[in-house]
Amino acid sequence: MAKRSFANKRVILTGASSGIGWYIASMLVRAGAYVVITGRRAERLEDLRRSFGNPSKRLIAVPGDISDPQHRRKLIDTAVQQLGGIDIVINNAGVGAIGNFESASEERLRGVFEVDFFGATELTRLALPYLTKGDEPAVCVVSSVLGHRAVPAKSEYCAAKFALRGWSESLRVELKPKGIDVVSISPSTTDSEFFDSLVETDPAQKSRSIGKQPAERVAKSVVSALRRRKRDMVLSAGGKALVWLGRLAPNFTDRMLMQYAT
């Protein structure tokens, strides 16, 4: 099958104000796409837009909270009214939390799910009527290695990413007859501002991980997976090792994670 072209594609991209999303937006614009970008920090979106011209005709900034149903509707309406339709939706926005589940509030769990899971699923639901008419349409989900193998002290985040992965697998089969690709990308820990805005997390809590991937490298993998029509990719050698170790030796992996967490 021929590689997907991004020339004149109409894209909605969430979580674009920093990190992975910032680089994805930049790469897509350079490849000739028109991109509706969103994120909570309006000034960051404007900086990105201005970096391609003043004003850039290929970047449309719509700041807001992806967990807000009205904002999701606004994103769809903006793409349809200003671009004439939607070809690709990239669900990149995400938040996390650190700490034991036992001591956490219900609000922390719901806060993570509202952004990481419902933000993606409900935006996609609104976009589907337009994607069915799109040019080489696709839904891309930026998930996590922790949606394949959970770790302690991140139960809310792991649960949301597991849910997102299950939804993506089901949606992939449902949409295949309509010609809509569903691409799932699972990075490991990424060097970004992700850990600066954790949900209901004590500032003393720190993420324990081995190594970080550069955000630009992850973004390149996302764009490449869309171009090459991949279905599911786990990024980084460490991420792949954790996934396979968890499958082949789950009890050993549990013991290893218990020691590492303490």
Question: Stretch 251-262: mean pLDDT, rounded?
Answer: 81
Residues known to be catalytic: 157
User: For 128-184, how does the pLDDT look when each residue is reduced to its tens digit (9 = 90+)?
Assistant: 999 999 999 999 999 999 999 999 988 999 999 999 999 999 999 999 999 999 999
4 in Cβ contact with 229 (< 8 Å): yes
CA-closest candidate to residue 25, choices 215, 230, 234? 215
pLDDT value at position 256? 87
Distance in angstroms (rounded) separating the CA atoms of residues 118 and 102: 23
Is residue 53 scored above 80 in pLDDT?
no
pLDDT value at position 29? 95
253 C-beta neighbours (distance < 10 Å), count: 18
Fold classification of 10-236 (topology level): Rossmann fold (3.40.50)
189 C-beta neighbours (distance < 10 Å), count: 20
User: For 195-232, how does the pLDDT look when each residue is reduced to its tens digit (9 = 90+)?
Assistant: 556 655 555 555 566 557 888 999 999 999 999 999 99
Q: What percent of the chain has pLDDT over 90?
A: 67
Domain spans, the chain: 10-236
Average pLDDT, the chain: 90
